[in-house]
């Protein structure tokens, strides 16, 4: 624990655990973007058609892409408040925040939800089908919206249960089952839309392979002021809903008994079981909630009305599902932090698109940055220990051997590495 203030007995805010987590996230972001810039330089130098000025433009867009306002008459890049870019950034942040929450909640229970992509697809299928059906049946729009959202969320929850059940009853690593359920979901969703011609968008020429967007039946999320702030962008009320859900998740995890049980299972499943917590129930519920959250991201995304779903998805999983992982890691699995890291990831996404349209580079540079950030967050523990060691440096006892008794206490057969790290503190 960091040193307490001698006067107030409290830990100073800038030395608290949360602050250290923010520092380490910022370090990861900075290094990630620096690597992105280096790759821009290397690629620029090795390509004949990219000049020195082109490299500089690429680096500028990596860092400030979201403020780009295109090129002026002289061909120079211009920057400023771009309502469309910023609004689209918030709009694209919604599914990222939701899948990030999904991964974060599972992480808190000690589970690695790499199956958000499949849950996201199941949510997409449920929401689109129900919204279109009810829209055609003439159900009141608000009721149709709620039904579509709930059905999508529930389908995702059920899909999330599967890895949970396998983990709880067969003790199979959830990573494998999540991957398998992802591909099964991709095939199921494609099969569903392939078999139901009514959902296919055939009236608009040249748009083959897509499901009819929901604006055609009017079941869309209200704008809730977002169209006033970010005129011309796709931003809508879904962003506020995502924030409300994130706050609700934070309250659930920190202020309720259920949240405590989940976190206890995550910290040490065996200890939690010993304390009378039903670990199997909590693992399944945690995966179900994670599935609901990922599916809610899909529902909010497609309920915007304009977004179109390419139904023949059996060869490709949605990127939103996997990008939930860096969002959660960057936020150190804190539900409120996920809002900010989700927006940040979405910003990288927008920057990537600017790079694609304005320079000779392509949007994959932002994926590289994300990859580097995930890699760095793998050893964010190291950053944290380094930072907190600096803070508590006056306790010179860091290298002392742990007391022999502490080693003896290790439960036999305990193979969970996370529980053993505590011994070093």
Interface positions with other proteins (CB under 8 A): 39, 43, 47, 112, 114, 166, 170-173, 175-177, 179-181, 183-184, 187-188, 190-191, 194-195, 314-316, 322, 325-326, 329, 361-362, 364-365, 367-368, 370-372, 374-375, 377-379, 381-382, 401-402, 407, 415, 417-418, 420, 423-424
Cα–Cα distances in angstroms (integers) from residue 331 to residues 24, 99, 347, 422, in the given order = 10, 13, 15, 21
Residue with the two structure tokens 């869309």: 220
DSSP secondary structure of 278-296: -HHHHHHHHHHHHHHHHHH
**Cβ distance to other proteins smaller for residue 234 or 349:** 349
Q: How far is the CB of 43 from other proteins (least distance, A)?
A: 5
Q: How far is the CB of 377 from other proteins (least distance, A)?
A: 7
Q: How far is the CB of 94 from other proteins (least distance, A)?
A: 21
Integer Cα distance of 261 and 160 in angstroms: 19
Residue with the two structure tokens 């920190």: 254
Q: How far is the CB of 176 from other proteins (least distance, A)?
A: 5
- Which stretch of DSSP H or E encloses residue 384? helix 380-391
DSSP secondary structure of 133-195: HHHHHT--HHHHHHHHHHHHHHHHHHHHHHHHHIIIII---HHHHHHHHHHHHHHHHHHHHHH
Closest-CA residue to 101 (of 307, 243, 267, 299):
243
Q: How far is the CB of 374 from other proteins (least distance, A)?
A: 4
**Cβ distance to other proteins smaller for residue 90 or 369:** 369
**Cβ distance to other proteins smaller for residue 190 or 282:** 190
Integer Cα distance of 168 and 189 in angstroms: 26
Q: How far is the CB of 283 from other proteins (least distance, A)?
A: 15
**Cβ distance to other proteins smaller for residue 240 or 314:** 314
Would you say 103 and 328 are in contact if contact means Cβ atoms under 8 Å apart? yes
**Cβ distance to other proteins smaller for residue 322 or 344:** 322
**Cβ distance to other proteins smaller for residue 64 or 319:** 319
């Amino acid at each position: 624990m960091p040193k307490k203030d001698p006067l107030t007995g409290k830990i100073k805010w800038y030395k608290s655990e949360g602050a250290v987590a923010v520092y380490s996230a910022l370090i990861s972001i900075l290094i990630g973007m620096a690597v992105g810039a280096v790759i821009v330089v290397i690629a620029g130098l090795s390509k004949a058609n990219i000049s020195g000025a082109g490299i500089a433009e690429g680096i500028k867009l990596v860092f400030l892409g979201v403020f780009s306002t295109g090129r002026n008459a002289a061909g120079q890049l211009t920057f400023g408040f771009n309502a469309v870019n910023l609004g689209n950034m918030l709009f694209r942040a919604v599914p990222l925040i939701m899948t990030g929450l999904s991964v974060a909640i599972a992480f808190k229970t000690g589970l690695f939800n790499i199956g958000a992509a499949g849950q996201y697809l199941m949510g997409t299928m449920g929401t689109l089908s129900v919204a279109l059906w009810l829209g055609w049946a003439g159900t009141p729009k608000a009721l149709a919206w709620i039904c579509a959202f709930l059905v999508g969320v529930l389908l995702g929850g059920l899909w999330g249960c599967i890895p949970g059940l396998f983990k709880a009853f067969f003790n199979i690593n959830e990573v494998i089952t999540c991957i398998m359920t992802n591909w099964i979901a991709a095939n199921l969703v494609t099969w569903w839309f392939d078999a139901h011609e009514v959902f296919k968008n055939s009236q608009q020429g040249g748009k083959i392979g897509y499901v009819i967007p929901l604006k055609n039946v009017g079941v869309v999320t209200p704008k809730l002021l977002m169209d006033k702030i970010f005129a011309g962008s796709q931003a809508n009320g879904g962003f506020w809903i995502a924030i409300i859900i994130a706050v609700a998740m934070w309250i659930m995890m920190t202020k309720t008994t259920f949240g405590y049980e989940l976190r206890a299972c995550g910290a040490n499943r065996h200890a939690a079981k010993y304390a009378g917590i039903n670990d199997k129930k909590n693992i399944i519920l945690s995966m179900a909630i994670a599935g609901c959250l990922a599916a809610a991201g899909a529902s909010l995304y497609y309920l915007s009305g304009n977004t179109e779903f390419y139904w023949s998805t059996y060869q490709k999983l949605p990127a939103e599902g996997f990008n939930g992982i860096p969002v959660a890691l960057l936020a150190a699995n804190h539900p409120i932090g996920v809002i900010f890291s989700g927006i940040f990831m979405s910003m990288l996404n927008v920057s990537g698109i600017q790079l694609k349209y304005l320079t000779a580079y392509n949007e994959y540079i932002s994926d590289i940055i994300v990859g580097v950030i995930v890699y760095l967050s793998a050893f964010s523990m190291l950053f944290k220990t380094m930072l907190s060691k600096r803070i508590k440096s006056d306790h010179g006892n860091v290298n002392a051997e742990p007391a022999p008794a502490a080693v003896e206490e290790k439960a036999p057969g305990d193979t969970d590495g996370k529980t053993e790290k505590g011994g070093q503190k």
